[in-house]
Amino acid sequence: MAHRIAGKKELGPDVFWARIEAPLIAKARQPGQFIILSINNDYSERIPLTIAGADPSDGTIELIWQRVGKTTAELADLAEGDEIANISGPLGTPTHIANFASVICVGGGIGAAPLLPIATALKSAGNRVVSILGFRSKDRLILEEEFARISDELIVTTDDGSYARKALVTEPLAEVCGRDPKPGHAFIIGPTIMMKFCCGVTRKFDVPTQVSLNTIMIDGTGMCGGCRVEVDGKPKFVCVDGPEFDGHRVNFDLMIKRMNAYKPQEQQAHEQYEQHRCRIGLDE
Amino acid sequence: MTHEQRQELLESLLAKQKAGALKPRDRFDIPPQDMPEQDAAVRRRNVHEVALGYTETQARLEAMRCLQCKTAPCVRGCPVRIRIPDFVAAIAEGQYGRALDIIKENSLLPAVCGRVCPQEVQCQETCTVGLRFKDVSKAVSIGRLERFVADLGHNGAAAPAVAPPTGKKIAIVGSGPGGIVAAADTRRAGHDVTVFEAFHKPGGVMVYGIPEFRLPKAIVHDEIETLKTMGVRIVPNFIVGRTRTIEQLMTEDGFDAVYIGVGAGLPSFMGIEGESLVGVYSANEYLTRANLMKAYSFGSGADTPIAVSRRVAVVGGGNVAMDAARTAVRLGAEKVYLIYRRTEKEMPARVEEVHHAQQEGIEFHLLQSPIRIVGDENSRATAIECLRYELGEPDDSGRRRPVAIAGSEFRIDIDTVIIAIGNQANPLIRQTTLSLEFNKWGNLVVDENCRTTMPGVYAGGDIVLGAATVILAMGQGRIAAAAINSDLADEPQ
């Protein structure tokens, strides 16, 4: 059963959003969970993407991704009405939603996408929600309105100052953590390096912190162990033990290195794909 | 022996038999037939099947070595009790179709089992011919004969007949060997059967784990097609427990029975330093990348990469370790070391796989075990540090326990490490099905008919047995299907 793309748009440079038919996943998914997709059957790779939203009534899920490698590029080049051969999920342990009185949610880049359903659920659970969204520049800004709607307070930053406050997210994060009373819990999703530095801040203020990891995976069901990270010095599988972990216990440095394990091959595949795409473009 | 010599021998034996003058003595004198194989130097560079299969003459000669023992010790050694002397006799007579029919009474996947069963510790271990020569390798090659008729009959074999619809719905969780058998047997009884597979392709370990050079994927594909012809529905990308829970399948989706055959599927690591370094794989991951995801074609079609390795250390002594080591050779590694803490005799791998691995240049480091994996500043594995062992007293499994030799540490330079020391029970079903009982190792608790503690739910294969074999999983699939069929028949309509 292939999955039709019901809607698709470009949110910013190389950032895409799509609504995709996947009725069973739309019904079952909970905040914090992800899917694994492969575009075609035989030679495509399988990549994990966190579910940004879902509508069980029309049986669709929302994905947001950045064009960084071959598969995300290929996905970006699909149009409304095209089909994705394989989507499996929802995978991973759902986020533990509770009332912590007040929470701080930090999203970096497209990390804002998987953070939105979590922040929404935290708000519904009665938390005071402070959200911090950080982007490289104004044109990469996503989900500002959506976060404004469910947050009691929203702070937006850009690295270059082209929009809102010029800062890295760690700066307002430290300010919010320094308030009295401090947030009961922090939820951080974004690039690994960002999560690492944010965890440095929340550790300093002793704010319990949840991070959502997006490592390399194949099956997503615990079978391969390729996604393993060190948590408290012990190997944990992101797919079945996570994807969320206590950010203060994750070995981010090792995780970053494992994420880069196939960098040259990934670049090669991406370049080949873009060249091929250009050639097709020229032939037309 | 040339083909002509074999042909001549066969004819003379058949003539003697016809005259009623064939003695056991004559049968003992028939040389055991070797399996034709791809040359080791050639096959190191391709992924095609290593064992090429018997010719007809070889098969009949090998079959004539069988003494047709009345007591049939071979049958007792077979987990699914195939009528071995009968099918072997049929081959000797040239009745290949009949031979295949006899096998199919008890085994659904002869082309698979003929290739991957550990015959030397099952049917062939107890073979009288092997005992006579005090050498199990001289037993009748039952597995090769099974493969011979299975391959011959492969295209012509019709799908098994299906009984009229019962109106009952069966869910099979996992499309590995146990699931395939359970699906076929319940479908034959007339039930409406759906197989749910988590991956995008069905076949389980036969597709992601066992490499093409040992079990061609076309064979597995054909078996799945047979299921479809029988009317079994196969649903890929469906993770029971997450996409739908077992409770939902039974209470909302109308399934009357569920068979859980999800396999073991949670790779064990050793718990030593450096196991999360870049370049360290579980065998599951390495084999899945290579087999299912076709990483050997990376850059020429396939999107999934795999380590480009020069020096590989594989840790373990089972079939999976052999598969991983031999896959590494085919992916271009210059040196592949197999590190095992006991001796070759204790290796759980099939003897044939051990021989093939040695022929392909894999260097065995026996009585050694890793204590640490060393990495560089980029966290890439660069060396594996091992201890030497000696064999001590037998342990619970009856195998002599390896004892570390103090101060015997040494290093091997490598860039890739593949850990193939087995699997633990996958936690997915346990995490999502609270009413099932699991033992302390995380394996499902079942009765002798594969019934779990949850009514209507059955289980078999590695999730029950721990790491086992294709044939044992098939045997359990069959037991569970029989229980499902009889339990549902007893139910009021």
State residue B341's pLDDT score: 92
Classify residue B160: in a domain, yes or no: no
- Band of pLDDT at residue B108, cut at 50, 70 and 90: confident
Classify residue B270: in a domain, yes or no: no
- Band of pLDDT at residue A103, cut at 50, 70 and 90: very high
State residue A275's pLDDT score: 84
Beta-sheet pairing, A153-158 with A165-166? parallel
Output the domain CATH number for residue B139: 1.10.1060.10
Between CA A66 and CA A51 the distance in angstroms is 14
φ and ψ at B224, to 5 degrees? Answer: -65, -40
Domain-terminating residue out of B92, B127, B153: B153
Cα→Cα distances B270→B152, B285, B314, B315, B380, Å: 44, 16, 13, 10, 18
Classify residue B340: in a domain, yes or no: yes
User: If you measure CA to CA, which chain B residue comes closest to A40?
Assistant: B200
Classify residue B449: in a domain, yes or no: yes
CA distance A113 to chain B (A): 21
Q: Is the confidence at residue A280, as pLDDT, over 80? A: no
Q: Is B474 helix (H, G, I), strand (E, B) or coil?
A: helix
pLDDT tens for B427-462 read: 889 889 988 999 988 899 999 999 999 999 999 999
Between CA A98 and CA A121 the distance in angstroms is 9
- Spans of all domains in chain A: 3-91, 95-212
pLDDT tens for B150-189 read: 999 754 556 788 999 999 999 999 999 999 999 999 999 9
Q: Is the confidence at residue B300, as pLDDT, over 80? A: no
Residues B409 and B443 placed together within one structural domain of the fold: no
Q: What CATH class is the domain A3-91? A: mainly beta
- Band of pLDDT at residue A283, cut at 50, 70 and 90: very low
Q: Is the confidence at residue B63, as pLDDT, over 90? A: yes
pLDDT tens for A211-254 read: 999 999 999 999 999 999 999 988 999 999 999 999 999 999 99
**Contact at CB, A222 and B265, closer than 8 angstroms:** yes
pLDDT tens for A74-91 read: 999 999 999 999 999 999
Question: Mean pLDDT over residues B322-329, rounded?
Answer: 96
Between CA B211 and CA B217 the distance in angstroms is 8
**Contact at CB, B294 and A43, closer than 8 angstroms:** yes
Classify residue B164: in a domain, yes or no: no
pLDDT tens for A168-215 read: 999 999 999 999 999 999 999 999 999 999 999 999 999 999 999 999
Which ipTM was obtained for this model? 0.91
**Contact at CB, B285 and A226, closer than 8 angstroms:** yes
CA distance B303 to chain A (A): 5
Residues B313 and B452 placed together within one structural domain of the fold: no
Residues B27 and B68 placed together within one structural domain of the fold: yes
In the 8-state DSSP scheme, what is residue B468? -
> Is the bond preceding residue A181 a cis peptide, omega within 30 degrees?
yes
Classify residue B319: in a domain, yes or no: yes
Between CA B452 and CA B464 the distance in angstroms is 10
| Domains contained in chain B, number | 3
Q: Which fold has domain A95-212?
A: Rossmann fold (3.40.50)
User: If you measure CA to CA, which chain A residue comes closest to B199?
Assistant: A219
pLDDT tens for B209-230 read: 999 999 999 999 988 998 999 9
- Band of pLDDT at residue B306, cut at 50, 70 and 90: confident
Report chain A's C-alpha Rg in angstroms: 19
Output the domain CATH number for residue B306: 3.50.50.60
Average pLDDT, chain B: 92
Residues B186 and B218 placed together within one structural domain of the fold: yes
| Domain extent for B460 | 169-265+424-490
Residue B303: closest CA among A279, A196, A42, A123: A42
Residues in chain A closer than 8 A to B428 (CB atoms): 221-222, 240
Residue in B242, B378, B428 nearest the CB of A257: B378
Between CA A47 and CA A262 the distance in angstroms is 14
Residues B51 and B181 placed together within one structural domain of the fold: no
State residue A52's pLDDT score: 92
Between CA A144 and CA A124 the distance in angstroms is 19
Residues B259 and B210 placed together within one structural domain of the fold: yes
State residue B492's pLDDT score: 64
Residues B360 and B344 placed together within one structural domain of the fold: yes
Residue in A44, A70, A86 nearest the CB of B236: A86
Task: Report the 10 Å Cβ neighbour count for B98.
Answer: 16
